[in-house]
Amino acid sequence: MPVFKRLVLYMKPYWWRILIAVLASSAYGGLDAAFAWMVEPLLKKIFVTKDVFIFSILPFAIIFIFVFRAICRYLNDYFMRTAAQLAMQDVRNEIFRKNVFLDLKFFYRNQTGSLMSRIVNDVAMMQNGIGGIITGVFRDFIGLVTLLGVIFYRDWQLALISILVIPLTVYPASILGTRIKKNARRGQEEAGYFASILQETLSGIKVVKAFSLEQAMIDQFANANKKYYNFTEKLIKYNSLSAPIMEIITSLGIAAVIFYGGSKVMANTMTAPEFFSFITAMALVYSPLKKLINAYHETQRCIGAAERVFEIIDAVPEIIENPDGHTLSPNDTRVELKNVRFKYQDDYIINNVSLIAEKGEIVALVGPSGGGKTTIVSLIARFFDVNEGQIIIGSNDIRDITKSSLMNHIALVDQETILFHDSIANNIRYGKPEATDDEIIRAAQAAFAHDFVMDMPKGYETSIGDRGIRLSGGQRQRLCIARAILKNAPILILDEATSALDTESEQMVQRALDNLMNNRTTFVIAHRLSTVLHADKIIVLEHGKIVESGTHQVLLQNNGLYSRLCSVQLGNG
């Protein structure tokens, strides 16, 4: 019930649409009872008293009734479905907004395809269910109640016989509903899994082809798809069982009523028109009853999907913004890490790290892969919160700085070039949404990207495809650098910013980065030690600890890990 209540609350803003649908569905449901009620007097008027007038207008009355029913059904379906669509649009917006604001740990724990499946497939199942549920509650419930009123008025003894079978439908409906919910949820989980396979395969299609993994990925997808079918097959089985079981149970009531009612007609204690009126109402009673049971099963499917959606909406971010957070000033560029420890799960991967980057300093983080370099800059950007220790910018702990101020203070050029399926201009403009075209061009020129952009078919308006697939690695990296240049933040993080560039491009971009780093506090992560030789401070990390620090010359003289790395890459340094 709490889940269903939340679903209904999403419909609240569209109450007027629901009101129209409810009134229309109520009229539609009540017409069945009116029709059943009119059978007895009409039969008497036509076949007993031979009323020609009633007989002559009956065809037109039937047409009018069915036209009115059709209008009611249209109004109910249209306004209820649009209300459900708008409500689920709000749900999609909310779950997407929540996804975007959740911290990175959440995305490390959940597959992208599974999250996409919840936004698309689960919400679609909720949308299909919520409209039918509310329609069933009003149209079918009102129809059921009014028809029960007719049959009890006609003959309460026959009515009791006819409804004795209704309690018998409750238990199988409950059992089937529970299994439907269980399999609907597990089926949606499997749908999320094969959506993940689909997303990973298509985004990594180059690797798939390079290693001839086509058949392996096809087999993996087919296995996941088969598991999804297994749960869907059970869902279909339980849904399909509902109607036959209902028909078998209701046949008991119909048989008893025909036997007992027929006996009363033959004994002249009940007229034939009254009996036909009762039979009509009774036959119509079972139709809304079956629809209500189907609506209950639809509710179970809907709730199974809603639980998965609400798990995301209810997810609590681990990084909480201080409501009284400070705003950084342009002069707050000194960065200090004090005894920082951090772990993703059980083991600490950053262990007791302390370092200081003074205003305008270039601090290089080097060392073997897995040493914790990228994790440290991620902590500075507060993509994660430290488990122990402090990170201070200016004079403020970053946990006491507003997120917007912190993000505006830091520009990031990551080793993974993240570009969007948009124009070149808009991809650069992400660094400063209000930037003018001239500012975008100047940023591109500073990143040595302007010339290749102008060679594109539409210049800065050229669409670069999904993740920038239509560009070379070096071109993508230069657009990312242009984006950081445009942001013009006082603290700069360069995580392998030149790793994807050829030698010629690297030299051009390095000159642009030299200008960009001027008077900025800069953290540079580099495996190519040639790019950090002139850093003010070089921090050498291994296994999450600082093993050395100093300038290039000082570290060479120490004859430690840095010296050995230089020997491998630069000869004797």
pLDDT digits (tens, 9 = 90+) for 408-428: 888 888 777 777 778 888 888
Task: Report CA-CA distances (Å) from 552 to 208, 269, 372, 529, 555.
Answer: 41, 111, 20, 10, 5
pLDDT digits (tens, 9 = 90+) for 334-381: 899 999 999 887 788 888 889 998 888 889 898 888 888 888 988 998
pLDDT mean across residues, the chain = 78
Measured CA to CA, the distance from residue 45 to residue 58 in angstroms comes to: 11
Is residue 88 predicted with pLDDT exceeding 50? Answer: yes
- N-terminal to C-terminal alpha carbon distance within the chain: 70
The per-residue pLDDT for 341 is 92
Measured CA to CA, the distance from residue 46 to residue 62 in angstroms comes to: 15
Q: Could you please state the CATH topology (level 3) that the domain comprising 2-313 is classified under.
A: ABC transporter transmembrane region fold (1.20.1560)
pLDDT digits (tens, 9 = 90+) for 322-340: 888 888 888 888 899 999 9
Q: Could you please state the CATH topology (level 3) that the domain comprising 335-570 is classified under.
A: Rossmann fold (3.40.50)
Strands 491-495, 545-550: parallel, antiparallel or unpaired by DSSP?
Answer: unpaired
Domains 2-313 and 335-570 share a fold: no
Percent of the chain at pLDDT exceeding 70:
82
Is residue 294 predicted with pLDDT exceeding 70? Answer: yes
pLDDT digits (tens, 9 = 90+) for 466-475: 666 677 777 7
Measured CA to CA, the distance from residue 407 to residue 400 in angstroms comes to: 13
Measured CA to CA, the distance from residue 564 to residue 492 in angstroms comes to: 28
pLDDT digits (tens, 9 = 90+) for 478-507: 888 888 888 888 898 888 766 656 666 667
Domain boundaries, the chain: 2-313, 335-570
Is residue 572 predicted with pLDDT exceeding 60? Answer: no
The per-residue pLDDT for 319 is 82
pLDDT band at 11 (very low <50, low <70, confident <90, very high): confident
The per-residue pLDDT for 573 is 43
Measured CA to CA, the distance from residue 336 to residue 2 in angstroms comes to: 47
Is residue 139 predicted with pLDDT exceeding 80? Answer: no
Q: Structure pTM?
A: 0.68
Measured CA to CA, the distance from residue 450 to residue 434 in angstroms comes to: 20
The per-residue pLDDT for 35 is 67
Is residue 15 predicted with pLDDT exceeding 70? Answer: yes
The per-residue pLDDT for 488 is 84
Ranking 50-59, 92-101, 359-368 by mean pLDDT, the lowest is 50-59
Is residue 45 predicted with pLDDT exceeding 70? Answer: no
Measured CA to CA, the distance from residue 396 to residue 391 in angstroms comes to: 8
Give the mean model confidence (pLDDT) for residues 256-270: 74
pLDDT band at 142 (very low <50, low <70, confident <90, very high): confident
Is residue 197 predicted with pLDDT exceeding 50? Answer: yes
Our CA angle for 566, 569, 572, nearest 5°, is 55
